[in-house]
Amino acid sequence: MRYAVALAAIVLREMLRFVAQRGRFLSALVRPLIWLLVFAAGFRSALGLSIIPPYSTYVTYEVYIVPGLCGMVQLFNGMQSSLSLVYDREMGSMRLLLTSPLPRWWLLFSKLLAGTAVSILQVYAFLAIAALFGISMPLFGYVAIFPILILTGLMLGALGLALSSTIRQLENFAGVMNFVIFPAFFLSSALYPLWKMAESSTLLYWICAVNPFTQVVEAIRFGLYGEVNLTAIGWTTLALAIFMALGLYGYDPARDMSHRRFKGS
């Protein structure tokens, strides 16, 4: 019962913060919509990808990049959620949370789940607006991606959690976010298929292939067509476990106190 109360309280706090920050919601929608409605035409012409044959059906380039833009929404939300963790650490509320009698892993997992719930709302809002512009997916796909969005949201949130555990000052986190977000997004299959990258450079192809964000995009892409990409889901789950372990290590109160005593001496 205590676990459920803590989870509900953390999720409710994150939701109230999200509702109060309307600019965060608008920016989460404007960013992928600009890519979808403006930049897609330029990329399509430059790459020669007016029609792409993934899997069993032919789709337009705009439809192809929708899963990547869903991943972009979750990636930015994961980084913004981790930014709030750095802020909470500076204000002292994070330390207060971690000193509660509940296990540290459950408290941090609750924070991740709260951020994931916000990101899923943003993804479905983006998909709804895209459908208004005639860029839609199979109806079953909108339901099938829900559990996938939970997994991918948790993984990207855990990535932000691991990064935020190494940042001590709020102003330093913006540079770290840009250092992670843009390479992760552009060196993936979000905007172009991996076989297109292989035509340009074998090295870049392998970098894109091992990029965890590529696995996020592929899991969402298959899910939108009602299919399951076990390879992408498996690698995403492994990345979640690794980033979560790093986050737990970074947010160890005993380690943090040792670090402060070392600096004081």
Task: Report pLDDT for 233.
Answer: 94
Report angle CA 97, 89, 241 to the nearest 5 degrees.
70
**Dihedral angle over CA of 9, 86, 153, 20, nearest 10:** 60
Q: When comparing pLDDT for 68 and 259, which is higher?
A: 68
Burial annotation 213-249 (CB, 10 A radius, 16+ → b, else e): bbbbbbbbbbbbbeeebeebbebbeebbeebbebbbe
Give percent of the chain above pLDDT 70.
77
Average pLDDT, the chain: 79
Q: When comparing pLDDT for 111 and 218, which is higher?
A: 218
Q: Where are the domains of the chain?
A: 2-253
Please report which confidence band the pLDDT of residue 212 belongs to, taking 50, 70 and 90 as the band edges: very high
Which of 58-67, 97-106, 209-218, 250-259 has the highest average model confidence (pLDDT)? Answer: 209-218
Please report which confidence band the pLDDT of residue 231 belongs to, taking 50, 70 and 90 as the band edges: very high
pLDDT at residue 47 greater than cutoff 60: no
pTM above 0.85, yes or no: no
Q: When comparing pLDDT for 178 and 264, which is higher?
A: 178
Please report which confidence band the pLDDT of residue 155 belongs to, taking 50, 70 and 90 as the band edges: very high
Contact assessment for residue 78 and residue 111, using Cβ atoms and an 8 Å cutoff: no
pLDDT at residue 213 greater than cutoff 90: yes
Please report which confidence band the pLDDT of residue 81 belongs to, taking 50, 70 and 90 as the band edges: confident
**Residue 211: helix, strand or coil by DSSP?**
coil
pLDDT at residue 2 greater than cutoff 60: yes
Any residues with CB less than 8 A from the CB of 46 and at least 6 apart, and which?
A: none
Task: Report pLDDT for 261.
Answer: 46
| DSSP string over 80-112 | HHHHHHHHHHHHTHHHHHHTSSS-HHHHHHHHH
Q: What are phi and psi of 164, to 5 degrees?
A: -65, -25
Indicate the range of 40-49, 114-123, 144-153, 224-233 predicted with least confidence. Answer: 40-49
Contact assessment for residue 142 and residue 123, using Cβ atoms and an 8 Å cutoff: no
DSSP annotation of 35: I
Task: Tell me the average pLDDT across 246-251.
Answer: 83
Q: When comparing pLDDT for 251 and 254, which is higher?
A: 251
pLDDT at residue 56 greater than cutoff 50: no
pLDDT at residue 116 greater than cutoff 80: yes
Separation CA 82–CA 115 (nearest Å): 9
